[in-house]
């Protein structure tokens, strides 16, 4: 029996129920033969520049050492399959995949035809068995890709059909018949902005959930559809980096994917697929893997997006740079949709987080995202969950309604001057922002983590505030193709004195 045929047979036999079988039923099987004892290599894509941050989180939460890839934005670590659910709880990773095989120094042939022929032959030589087992087990942990437009239309129809006599208690009883994952996924796809009070809006959202779930599950699926679903659909995605390749990404994916299809007898489908096979090529390094996520994990907390919404994974990395401590007061004075304070409240609930912005629409989006996170927390806890350590406020960044020296940490995404604001306005905005941040931040212990792509303007503004801020560290990141920087600043012990007070003293003397 070939490796591929064996993998297909084992794939059909893998079940999560095997974990729950009594020990007496598994006496004949050695521990290494059982799926939960598998040890595999997991690959994770992370925000570029924050690879070490992700590696530190993996070490702390999983007890595994990570290897940072030469290809920026990726790390690799070994785990046992029983820890797979914890991997999905990592805050710093965008996408996950299980490594089938890695070639550190792959020798490419000289002609394109020979290279593509090697890719075809490679498909039948790879150890697919254990990665496919992991993929099967992973289906209960991964978050399914959201279908926002479809669900929004369904929810608008369901809203009209809600029985007025049912009330909140009736809705609460219906929720219990569905899994928490289904409830959370349905809540996440409610894109309507909330104009009512939080409690009323929450009640309406909850009342819409059960019927939307039933439609999403497809209760009346025909036997024909069930038969078709048994044939696995797949696609191959090639990610290529390097200048010395004689082939394109599409050519590699086409030929390698054709060989995979011939071996497994799967059906190719570029959009509605069950298995995504990854072919990552970086110079002379090749990694073949199977995707464990359908949608990037960075979308976990945000339901209302703005023009420049920050990824949750990048927000986590920025927050982690300043090492929040219990009881710290953390503010984001230009919060946008609230990605940074929401991520902070989810990971550091013992701190107090404030989301502020001068744009009322941004504050409204942040408030709706906070409400969504509150709803998720309440559903997960299956009991009353009275609040989160976070507030959303409309304010002026240059005149914050906060006491002098009252804030421990400032973390914010400053306007790049492209989609929001302009480079010209930044020359006045940045110095004013840093001055007001200097006033509210606690002398001696205060920290600030600031993200900007307008590095020249920021450097000029920081030079004026050198007596109040000391640059500790810089992380270079790639945001949508833009080369940006994350600056970690430490507040000096010098007491803040407003420039107007200095001028007054000069006039007095």
User: pLDDT of 443-496, one tens digit each?
Assistant: 999 999 999 989 999 999 999 998 999 999 999 998 878 899 999 999 999 998
CA atoms within 13 A on the CB side of 461: 23
Tell me the C-alpha distance between 303 and 337, whole Å. Answer: 9
From residue 50, give the alpha-carbon distance in Å to each of 69, 167, 168, 304, 452.
Answer: 12, 47, 44, 25, 15
Residue pair 468/491 in contact by the 8 Å Cβ criterion: yes
Residue pair 298/104 in contact by the 8 Å Cβ criterion: no
Q: 389 Cβ partners below 8 Å, 6+ apart?
A: 345, 349, 350, 351, 352, 353
Report if pTM > 0.85: no
Better-predicted residue by pLDDT, 192 or 503: 503
Question: DSSP assignment, residue 504?
Answer: H
Tell me the C-alpha distance between 446 and 494, whole Å. Answer: 11
Compute how many other C-beta atoms are within 10 angstroms of the C-beta atom of residue 94: 22
Tell me the C-alpha distance between 26 and 8, whole Å. Answer: 22
Strand order in the sheet with 447-452: 390-394, 352-357, 329-332, 409-413, 447-452, 482-491, 469-479
Residue pair 367/393 in contact by the 8 Å Cβ criterion: no
* pLDDT (tens digit per residue) in 321-379: 999 999 999 999 999 999 999 999 989 999 999 999 999 999 999 999 998 888 877 77
Give all domains of the chain, ordered by start, each with its CATH number: 3-143+231-291 (3.30.2130.30), 148-223 (no CATH), 301-502 (3.40.50.150)
Residue pair 301/292 in contact by the 8 Å Cβ criterion: no
- Per DSSP, helices labelled H in 274-359 are 312-321, 339-347
CA dihedral of 450, 451, 453, 454, whole degrees rounded to 10: -20
pLDDT score, position 344: 94
């Amino acid at each position: 029996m070939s490796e591929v045929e064996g993998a297909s047979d084992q794939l059909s036999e893998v079940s999560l129920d095997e974990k729950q079988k009594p020990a007496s039923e598994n006496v004949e099987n050695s521990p290494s033969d059982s799926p939960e004892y598998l040890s595999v290599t997991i690959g994770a894509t992370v925000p570029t520049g924050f690879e070490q941050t992700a590696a530190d989180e993996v070490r702390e939460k999983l007890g595994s050492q990570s290897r940072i890839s030469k290809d920026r934005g990726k790390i690799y670590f070994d785990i046992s399959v029983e820890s797979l659910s914890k991997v999905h709880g990592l805050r710093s990773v965008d996408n996950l995949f299980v490594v089938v095989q890695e070639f550190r120094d792959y020798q490419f042939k000289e002609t394109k035809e020979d290279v593509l022929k090697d890719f075809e032959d490679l498909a039948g030589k790879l150890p697919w068995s254990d990665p496919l087992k992991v993929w099967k087990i992973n289906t209960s942990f991964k978050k399914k890709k959201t279908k926002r437009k479809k669900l929004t239309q369904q929810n608008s129809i369901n809203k009209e059909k809600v029985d007025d006599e049912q009330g909140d208690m009736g809705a609460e009883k219906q929720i219990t018949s569905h899994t928490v994952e289904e409830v959370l996924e349905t809540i996440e796809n409610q894109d309507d902005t909330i104009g009512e009070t939080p409690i009323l809006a929450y009640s309406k959202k909850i009342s819409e959930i059960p019927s939307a779930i039933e439609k999403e599950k497809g209760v009346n699926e025909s036997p024909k559809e069930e038969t078709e679903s048994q044939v696995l659909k797949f696609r191959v995605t090639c990610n290529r980096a390097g200048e010395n390749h004689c082939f394109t990404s599409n050519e590699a994916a086409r030929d390698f994917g054709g060989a995979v299809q011939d071996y497994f007898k799967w059906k190719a489908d570029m959009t509605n697929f069950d298995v995504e096979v990854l072919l990552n090529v970086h110079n002379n390094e090749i990694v073949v893997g199977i995707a464990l996520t359908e949608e990037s994990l960075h979308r976990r907390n945000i339901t209302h997006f703005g023009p420049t919404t920050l990824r949750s994974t990048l927000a986590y990395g920025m927050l982690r740079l300043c090492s929040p401590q219990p009881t710290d007061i953390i503010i984001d004075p230009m919060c946008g949709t609230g990605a940074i304070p929401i991520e902070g409240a989810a990971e550091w609930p013992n701190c107090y987080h404030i989301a502020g912005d001068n744009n009322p629409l941004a504050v409204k989006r942040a408030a709706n995202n906070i409400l969504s996170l509150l709803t998720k927390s309440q559903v997960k806890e299956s009991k009353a969950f009275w609040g989160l350590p976070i507030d959303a406020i409309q304010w002026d960044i240059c005149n914050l309604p906060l006491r002098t020296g009252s804030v421990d940490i400032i973390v914010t995404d400053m306007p790049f001057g492209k989609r929001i604001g302009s480079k010209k306005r930044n020359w006045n905005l940045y110095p004013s922002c840093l001055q007001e941040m200097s006033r509210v931040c606690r002398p001696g212990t205060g920290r600030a983590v600031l993200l900007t792509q307008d590095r020249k303007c920021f450097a000029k503004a920081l030079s004026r505030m050198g007596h109040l801020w000391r640059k500790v560290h810089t992380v270079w990141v790639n945001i949508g193709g833009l080369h940006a920087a994350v600056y970690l600043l430490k507040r000096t012990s010098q007491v803040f004195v407003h420039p107007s007070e200095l001028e007054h003293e000069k006039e007095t003397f």
